[in-house]
A and B are shown apart, each in its own frame.
Chain A
Amino acid sequence: MMLKDGVPKMLRLVYLLLFILLIQVAYAKEANDYNDEVTFKDFTLNIGDRIDLGDYQMELIEIQSVRDGLVVMRISKVGGSLDEQRALLLDSPNNFDGGAENRGITITVADIFDELSSKVRIEYPQGLGTARKHASERPALALDKPELSVQKSFDKNQMSVGDEVKVTITVKNVGTGKALGIKAEDIPPLPEFSYVAGYPPKIKETLDSGQSDSAIYVINAVKEGSIRVPGIMVSYSDAKKNAKSNSSDPFNILISPKSKADLAVRMTSLAPIALDGEGNLNISISNLGTASATRIEADGTVMPSEGLQITGLEKSFFEILPGADVNYSARLTGQKPGNYTIRVKVNYDGGAGSEIQEGTLKVVVLEREYKYQYLLFIIPIAIIAAWMYRRHREYKY
């Protein structure tokens, strides 16, 4: 009413148009606000893969350093207003054209999988459209990636105290690139071993792909027990100075007590010996130990010393191998009835000095056997009986 009365019609129209314009602007602004809303999308990119978003093109150029988290991407814009190749740090947002908040884009490297792929997050205003990935049509380039396999081995799994063991360290580059700065780090000497020679192991500092190197060192087992031998760790780097390492698997070995000879003396004699008769004494010396016995001297005594004569009891042997035995016989002659104890003493070098082993055997020398003694009793009785029977028959009527 007021408008009708106070404002010309034209003005009223202008006001109306203005009002409409204002509404339109308001609506337009509201629409623009809506299109400028920031969204994001994650992509897993291989080298060469590209993301298209509106006029933007984002290409993964290189994983510069996995260790340092550096990825190189190239960001360009149709029309040439933007063409930039930048190294992106892991987990650091990188704004282009002012960033997503300013109608530009923001790129963040979310993860680096390896030398060839990484995960990238793109933040952008919705108004830019939908981000799409274009896989690279180029074949993935083989990377110069060294990889060292490490092996640590003993030349024997079971050993005895005092045994020497050769430890072999073998390092082989099974990767595709050259390994640089190779450094083998074996653990310090174990208390069960003393290191004889070759420690620490020397491995070439560089190994080309497929190349291997080994080192041997000698240790000496000094303490018995079951031991878990830790693996050896090898550290190296690739051409991009990416540091890498690998280690061998630990393993168990058994160190037995120090091997030595263990002689057992065994004596047998078949039967009691008749008085003034002879018999054999068989002596067997067995090496039950794990080392050779040397300089074996066998000798013996008889208790009581008189009444049983032994010849051939003393004997010498140069060596008896582990598990082997030697046998010999002595001659026994019974001179006096009784029970005798034969003690054979074996003196030998068992590997840990001189040792003595003894064996005893009881031997009986029989009383003089009157084999047909009973006949002395029976025959006269029989004769007497026969005689008396004959006489009885003679006088029987």
Chain B
Amino acid sequence: MLNVLILGVGQCGNRILDAINKEAFGGSGASKLAKYYSRPKFPSRVDTLAINTATNDLKELRFTTAKDRLHVANLHGVGANRNVGKQAFMDNRDMIMGEIEKRGDFDIAFVITSASGGTGSSFSPLLINELKRQYRDITVITVAVLPFREEGSIYLQNAAFSMRELMEVDADGIILADNQYMKRFSGDIVSAYDKINSMIAQRLLFLIESLDSEMLSVTDLGDFKTVMNGGLRIGTMGFYQSDSKNLSIKDAIENSLKPVNLLYPANVADDAARAMIIIQGSRELLDVDEITKEVERLSASAGHVFKGIVVKKGRPKVLSVFTLASAPELESIYAQAARGMQDEKEKRCRARKQLDDAFAHIEDLEEIY
């Protein structure tokens, strides 16, 4: 059995973590009162911990137990300032790691964070380093959520710098989710957030369940680790569940790789470095030959593809995890972030000059009373 640690850092990470806990209660079908009569059903031994510097963000969680909410005392958040966030982490590092250590040893840790926020973007690289230092054999996967582009230059700036730091730390890979990309799933921001959180939660739990299941065709944590080490070590996930009208496993696999079902905009055929296809469904629906053919077809473009088949009663579900050999959208973000930073810098210089000009009017003058 896998020992899994899921850390939700910052407001975004907390909410995705809460969605994972909710998913463990039964997903979207779970009642708001499910936590009163039920227990979360994780496929493996899963420990969750929501970390935040803002108490209010922790209070908003509904399906995460109080003991799994860790408040890092730093007034009320870090105000999207990564430097303040880093200082807060360092000041509370022992306390944070102590809380994690209480939960035992883990085989894999998912650090879920927003790349653009204050606490999450500043805490996560440091936290990953500490995890790697403290747990020698642990696999640490970062789930980073990119911001809406219109959220502001600071968020873009934070995303740019935090992504760089996340790439630099000794993590075993980054799974990207792009809010901007997934915003199309819902009309308004609030329901879009909920939908995005739910999608990420569903995919992660499916992944954990698959890695810890007896498979017809085996993929395990090592395979997953290999996949995540491919390419840029940045990947994303796609997911598809067949409907009753079309139970074709081939179509399910193809659909899971379609951009519409990805968390991050990518062209699998062109951008994928390594991939893992995990298929779950009733035995009679799982045509191994067809699956093999489809995987082979994917391997032709994506390099190496691991496949895992889990026999479980139900319509076919396919989770595709792949790393990217290139990430053009990231470059776009960085460019946008750089522009924003440059604009910000210029604005600040202009404002400073205006202020200096204003001050010049009273230069050589004394106050007279």
Q: Which of B23-68 contact A (CB under 8 A)?
A: 35-37, 58-59, 61-67
- Indicate if B69 sits at the interface (CB-CB under 8 A): yes
Bound complex: CA of A92 vs CA of B63, how far in Å? 153
Do the beta carbons of A395 and B37 come within 8 Å of each other?
Answer: no
- Assess whether A368 is interfacial by the CB under 8 Å rule: no
Residue of B nearest to A397 (CB): B66
Q: How many residues of B contact A (CB 8 A)?
A: 13
A387 touches B36 (CB 8 A): yes
> In A40-60, which residues have CB < 8 Å from any B CB?
none
With both chains docked as a complex, state the minimum distance between the C-beta of B242 and any C-beta of chain A, in angstroms.
35
Q: Which partner residue on chain A sits nearest B64 by CB separation?
A: A395
A387 in contact with B69 given A395-B62, A395-B63 (CB within 8 Å): no
- Count A-B pairs with CB separation below 8 Å: 25
In the complex, are the beta carbons of B36 and A397 less than 8 A apart? no
Name the B residues within 8 Å of A387 (CB-CB): 36-37
B36→A396 contact, CB < 8 A: no
- Measured CB to CB, the closest approach of chain A to B64, in angstroms, equals 7
Contact with A along B55-85 (1 / 0, CB 8 A): 0001101111111010000000000000000
Among residues of B, the one whose C-beta sits closest to the C-beta of A391 is: B36
- Closest chain-B Cβ to A296's Cβ sits at a distance in Å of 71
Nearest CB to that of B69 among chain A residues? A397
Q: Which residues of A contact B37 (CB under 8 A)?
A: 384, 387-388, 391
Cβ of B159 to closest chain A Cβ, rounded Å: 28
Give, as a whole number of angstroms, the nearest-CB distance from B26 to chain A. 15
Give chain B residues whose Cβ lies under 8 Å from the Cβ of A391. 35-37
Interface residues on A, range: 10 to 19
> Shortest CB–CB separation between residue B54 and chain A, in angstroms?
12
A35 to B208, CA, bound (A): 184
Q: B59, B62, B66: which contacts A394 (Cβ < 8 A)?
A: B66
Q: How far is the CA of A394 from the CA of B40 in the complex (A)?
A: 13
A384: chain B residues at CB < 8 Å are 37
In the assembled complex, the CB of A316 is this many whole angstroms from the nearest CB of chain B, namely: 69
Complex Cα gap A394–B21 (Å): 14
Tell yes or no: A392 within 8 A of B by CB: yes
B34 — nearest CB in chain A belongs to which residue? A391
* Contacting residue for B58 out of A392, A394, A397, CB 8 A: A397
Residue of B59, B62, B66, B67 contacting most chain A CB atoms (<10 Å): B66
Name the B residues within 8 Å of A394 (CB-CB).
65-67
Q: How far is the CA of A396 from the CA of B64 in the complex (A)?
A: 9
Distance, CA A58 to CA B62, complexed state (A): 158
Q: In the complex, what's the smallest C-beta–C-beta distance from B12 to chain A, in angstroms?
A: 18
Considering only CB atoms, which chain A residue lies closest to B71 in the complex? A397
Residues of A contacting B36 in the complex (Cβ-Cβ under 8 angstroms): 387-388, 391-392
Q: Which residues of A contact B64 (CB under 8 A)?
A: 395
Which B residues lie within 8 Å of A395 (CB)? Answer: 35, 62-66
Looking at the assembled complex, report how far the CB atom of A327 sits from the nearest CB atom of chain B, in whole angstroms: 62
Contacts of A388 in B (CB 8 A): 36-37
**Least Cβ distance of A255 to chain B in Å?**
91
CB neighbors of B among A276-309 (8 A)? none
Chain B's closest residue to A392 (CB) is B36
Residue of A whose beta carbon sits closest to that of B38: A391
Query: What residues on B are CB-neighbors of A396 within 8 Å?
Result: 66
A355-397 contacts to B, CB under 8 A, are: 384, 387-388, 391-397
Chain A interface residues (CB < 8 Å from chain B): 384, 387-388, 391-397
Interface pairs (25), CB distance under 8 Å: A384-B37, A387-B36, A387-B37, A388-B36, A388-B37, A391-B35, A391-B36, A391-B37, A392-B36, A393-B66, A394-B65, A394-B66, A394-B67, A395-B35, A395-B62, A395-B63, A395-B64, A395-B65, A395-B66, A396-B66, A397-B58, A397-B59, A397-B61, A397-B66, A397-B69
What 9 A-B pairs come out closest when comparing CB atoms? Answer: A388-B36, A397-B66, A391-B36, A394-B65, A397-B69, A397-B59, A397-B58, A395-B65, A395-B35
Q: Besides A394-B66, A397-B59, 19 other CB < 8 A contacts? A: A384-B37, A387-B36, A387-B37, A388-B36, A388-B37, A391-B35, A391-B36, A392-B36, A393-B66, A394-B65, A394-B67, A395-B35, A395-B62, A395-B63, A395-B64, A395-B65, A395-B66, A397-B58, A397-B66
